A and B are shown apart, each in its own frame.
Chain A
């Protein structure tokens, strides 16, 4: 290397590919983000129109029909009292783990690649939680009585049962929804102020209201940083608690296959696995449709690809630990569950899950060329979420078909109503995201600029080296 003297003074081409070593003027960056926010092509309106229609059919039509006629329009039956709705619920709670994990944990550990992607993933958390929160209501036999689960004083002096994991669930989800929404909002304030200063008309009024009079003084930054740090640390245990408690809906029962001590961490690992994968899928779409190539680069997908691979390892570890313990336990009903997965009706789903969650990530994501190839990464991460959905489906609807009294074994197939509601909720999520992507800056510009400020190429002798000065 030292033989080629000219190469030493020039910065490596590699480094210029890094966002934080490739600063642009603040105006240009602001403009890029604002332009992505205010560009509406005809394609956008077509997509939004279709999504709104699907959401209306699924949630207005199919759900309304179910409420009016009865739960019988769903495919659930004895002994499978929980079906697709609960699988969807667990799935969307899992997706909601993306934002907090990427944003809070990586912020706490100062992983620099997080900077341009925090907002997009936090937004997923909030919307996925809203969609997940609908499912316990959709699933209720008497939806119109859902408020009996809320502890409010009433003349009958009836109180909810706090022994029930469903009550823990409701409290955990509410806490997480409020916490993650605030955590989304706090780092958004400086960007909203930036948008306010560039916008006119209703947008100006909206951003002026939301920016809370932010001017960017030293004191304001100080307070904001403190608040973000507090929230980042506080939201992490909340995130862990939410999916642990979701898993306890199953773990606290005596249902064969559900009653497991490992379900808490197993579900948390699965949630982060599926959440991080969903972030990659969404970021690839966002970059493509909103032309954010400057902010979202190969290095980010490279890093996220590694995270997906690591969480594939973690998930596999828990899956294997759970599986092996059941197998060695040798209980008759547990054996039936393992047979159900290996050779029974859910076997195709089970093998597909193993393929998309273990086989494909393990054999592809170690390769940097695959990690930085958008189409490959898109398919792999989409596959992971298909696999994670199947995992939840097998645990909920598959395990319930077997029990300790062989006479009462059953079968389950989702009905058209269940499928329409599922499609409607997926459309609702994408619709919320599509609308929000045109309302708020999807890239936290100030965080990127802050990162670029502390990263620089410094001359040491005859060579340039990347250097980072510590913040705070």
Chain B
């Protein structure tokens, strides 16, 4: 494992997002997210780790849809962490990622209440993977049982694998070596992932953009997800 400290960051360009939900599907496939069925989804129990929020702007007839993909913001000062009584969620000082330990979680759901981004999802029942979805479970990711909290991990398994590959090939981890499933699948390239600790990376440059902002910045949670939203010029 490389000695250098990473600061994994995702940049989400709202001016590019078309709301196609490809990232939601890719994420579900990568992370063994169970399918819960229409009734449960209607009740508000969808398990997706990414949520494409849709807001309407303007007055008729000049109405326009705006999309905000919301994932776990991997906050530096995460409100979910101190409230967990058993340390099932804690901060990784190496990756600057908010870690969820499935085996330790006892299901108080306190973290989910205290997340201002409503980014966490709960396993209300044991997971179901109807045929043929059971054939494509990702062996790198734990399947969670009932009563456990889960959320976006920045595809930590992909970060680990990229680090191991780089170490095996005796080279430093390059920009773009780590790609979470959502980033890989985004056709509009609205999502960019990388290490801001590396000043030459793509994200490091995008973060300095004038269009950059963070969701609910005023709460002081210091998210590691940066949004870009600028201007009228980019979208029609």
Q: Is the CB of A407 within 8 A of B113?
A: no
Q: Is the CB of B116 within 8 A of A254?
A: yes
Q: Is the CB of B147 within 8 A of A167?
A: no
Q: Is the CB of B83 within 8 A of A165?
A: yes
Q: Which residues of A contact B114 (CB under 8 A)?
A: 253-255
Chain A contacts with B in 76-93, Cβ cutoff 8 A = 76-79, 81-82
Residue of A nearest to B148 (CB): A141
**Which listed residue (A70, A78, A149, A400) contacts B86, Cβ 8 A?**
A149
**Which listed residue (A166, A255, A406) contacts B108, Cβ 8 A?**
A166
Q: Is the CB of B146 within 8 A of A70?
A: yes
Q: Which residues of B contact A373 (CB under 8 A)?
A: none
Q: Which residues of A contact B129 (CB under 8 A)?
A: none
Q: Is the CB of B124 within 8 A of A70?
A: yes
> What string of 1s and 0s marks CB contacts (under 8 Å) between A145-188 and chain B?
11011000000001111011111001000000000000000000
**Which listed residue (A149, A403, A410) contacts B116, Cβ 8 A?**
A403
With A165-B83, A166-B108 as known contacts, state yes or no: A77 contacts B146, CB within 8 Å: no
Q: Is the CB of B44 within 8 A of A78?
A: yes
Q: Is the CB of A253 within 8 A of B113?
A: yes
Q: Is the CB of A78 within 8 A of B112?
A: yes
B123 at the interface (CB under 8 A from A): yes
Q: Is the CB of A146 within 8 A of B106?
A: yes
Q: Which residues of B contact A142 (CB under 8 A)?
A: 105-107, 146-148
A110 at the interface (CB under 8 A from B): no
With A149-B85, A405-B118 as known contacts, state yes or no: A77 contacts B44, CB within 8 Å: yes
Is the contact region of chain B dominated by helix, strand, or loop, or is it mixed? Answer: loop
How many of chain B's residues have a CB under 8 angstroms from any CB in A?
Answer: 43
A140 at the interface (CB under 8 A from B): yes
Q: Is the CB of B125 within 8 A of A404?
A: no
Bound Cα distance A142, B219 (Å): 31
B205 at the interface (CB under 8 A from A): no
The minimal Cβ–Cβ distance linking B198 to chain A, given in whole angstroms, is 31
Chain B contacts with A in 30-87, Cβ cutoff 8 A = 40, 43-46, 51, 53-55, 68, 70, 79, 82-87
Q: Is the CB of B125 within 8 A of A72?
A: yes
Residue of B nearest to A408 (CB): B118
Q: Is the CB of A149 within 8 A of B106?
A: yes
Residue of B nearest to A161 (CB): B87
The minimal Cβ–Cβ distance linking B214 to chain A, given in whole angstroms, is 13
Residue of A nearest to B52 (CB): A407
A56 at the interface (CB under 8 A from B): no
Q: Is the CB of A78 within 8 A of B85?
A: no
Q: Which residues of A contact B82 (CB under 8 A)?
A: 161, 163-164
A69 at the interface (CB under 8 A from B): yes
> What string of 1s and 0s marks CB contacts (under 8 Å) between A387-411 and chain B?
0000000000000100111111011
> What string of 1s and 0s marks CB contacts (under 8 Å) between A48-89 and chain B?
000000000000000000000111100011110110000000
With A148-B104, A405-B53 as known contacts, state yes or no: A164 contacts B110, CB within 8 Å: yes
Q: Which residues of B contact A143 (CB under 8 A)?
A: 147
Q: Is the CB of A164 within 8 A of B83?
A: yes
Q: Is the CB of B109 within 8 A of A81?
A: yes
Q: Which residues of A contact B124 (CB under 8 A)?
A: 70-72, 77
Q: Is the CB of B125 within 8 A of A141?
A: no
Residue of A nearest to B87 (CB): A161
Bound Cα distance A254, B77 (Å): 12
B212 at the interface (CB under 8 A from A): no
**Which listed residue (B40, B107, B116) contacts A141, Cβ 8 A?**
B107
Q: Is the CB of A77 within 8 A of B45?
A: yes
Q: Which residues of A contact B146 (CB under 8 A)?
A: 69-72, 141-142
Residue of A nearest to B220 (CB): A254
Q: Is the CB of B107 within 8 A of A253?
A: no
With A70-B123, A78-B121, A81-B122 as known contacts, state yes or no: A140 contacts B107, CB within 8 Å: yes
A119 at the interface (CB under 8 A from B): no
A262 at the interface (CB under 8 A from B): no
A139 at the interface (CB under 8 A from B): yes
With A141-B123, A148-B86, A253-B79 as known contacts, state yes or no: A82 contacts B113, CB within 8 Å: yes
Q: Which residues of A contact B164 (CB under 8 A)?
A: none
The minimal Cβ–Cβ distance linking B120 to chain A, given in whole angstroms, is 8
Residue of B nearest to A167 (CB): B85
> What string of 1s and 0s marks CB contacts (under 8 Å) between B118-138 and chain A?
100111111000000000000
Bound Cα distance A160, B46 (Å): 30
Which of B54, B107, B125 has the most A CB atoms < 10 Å from its CB? B107
A426 at the interface (CB under 8 A from B): no
Q: Is the CB of A405 within 8 A of B117?
A: yes
B216 at the interface (CB under 8 A from A): yes
> What string of 1s and 0s marks CB contacts (under 8 Å) between A126-149 and chain B?
000000000010011111011011
A252 at the interface (CB under 8 A from B): yes
Q: Is the CB of B110 within 8 A of A70?
A: no
**Which listed residue (B84, B87, B110) contacts A158, Cβ 8 A?**
B87
Q: Is the CB of A79 within 8 A of B125?
A: no
The minimal Cβ–Cβ distance linking B24 to chain A, given in whole angstroms, is 14
The 7 closest A-B pairs by CB, nearest first: A141-B107, A141-B147, A72-B124, A70-B146, A407-B53, A77-B44, A81-B109
Task: Supply 18 A–B pairs (Cβ within 8 Å), ascending by A.
Answer: A71-B146, A72-B45, A76-B109, A77-B43, A77-B44, A77-B45, A77-B124, A78-B122, A79-B113, A82-B113, A142-B146, A148-B104, A158-B87, A161-B82, A164-B110, A166-B85, A405-B117, A407-B54
Given A149-B106, A161-B87, A400-B113, 8 extra CB contacts under 8 A: A70-B124, A77-B44, A142-B105, A145-B106, A146-B106, A148-B104, A149-B86, A161-B86
